[in-house]
Structure 1
């Protein structure tokens, strides 16, 4: 447990990271950012963890940067030093599932977009917000939104900075699943437990790497890299176990992620 991010691992290989500044509706700060990334690194190294779920405390996910921090930054104070890349979550070798339980805007949306799969509670409010603060789309927000919902929708969401609800976010592909009030974390954890129980950690790490990295390259380069990963996968114990579980008609018993250089 840290000051603003809670770290809770269950006995099925799922860790829930809860962004927790309830007195400020989980508004983002440099300290929360550092703790969040530290928790992602901890989960990466934790042999008991196979899938990561990220949610917010209370009824808010992250509604943006804390106004007190924003005021300091706008007056010329440095946000932080030695800041890690805001795409850090995409480099974590374990799947990260978002359980968006409420307001998700600005830097909160930027963080959510770096997750691999997103659940959102019906009625949750989303906004890019940057343009209304005189800012461009921060970090890789424009890149991800363009790939999720197309260039025209991405432009409109970014340029208008308007509020849109989870239902529209689902139609546009910004989130993948809608949950009823009170069930978004349970739904996300159930999805994560299904991955943890049935899927090879090596395969999940490789597929995640392919999804994020292959979109930056050509189809031929992606094909060649897939051939390399296939050869590497066949050398891992997960391949033998996956094959044996199929032929023996039993659930697989995969080992913890071995930490490959992907």
Structure 2
């Protein structure tokens, strides 16, 4: 934890975020890992991270062409983002860094899954918030993945002998423009809350390719974009949101 203090200070400098918002995420993650080490029966831990921990930007503030496991959200950049997105991205990034570092130092296998925007049916009483959608206006891309594919990926990585490091979990990366076009054709009766031509032209210019090759080389995703969105809309209709 001591090694993370400088990063935490950088994350909240010139910001109104309470330090506790970020430290709770890290402390909770490390608390679970310490319990696993104490039990002496746990070989591997699958840590659910989020694709917001892999914001594809270089040291010059320019978007990279590809978002993959090599991308780490730069704290100095993201700390300038106000509101919940900035806090969430910082907490997920630092918690994942802490988990991987702890695993290396303490001899526990830690595998992290960077989950995209999860769609499909829900067992909760309210519509889940899929925070990575906030990346869309910035990258022009949407990292879609069905909730059942997320569960399958976790189980596979838990059992696969050579699983290690980070894995982007995104079955069907699409552009914002593609998604809006799908909505208009498949659900013309549902008015779009956003997505005018000016916005779409902007997103076309900055679209980043999202790569889940490391994981897709090992497992096959069951659901594509149409099924993910359709299942999500049906879920919203059942919960009277649409």
Give TM-score scaled by structure 2 length.
0.29
Higher helix fraction (1 or 2): 2
Q: Which has the higher contact order (CA 8 A, sep 6+)?
A: 2
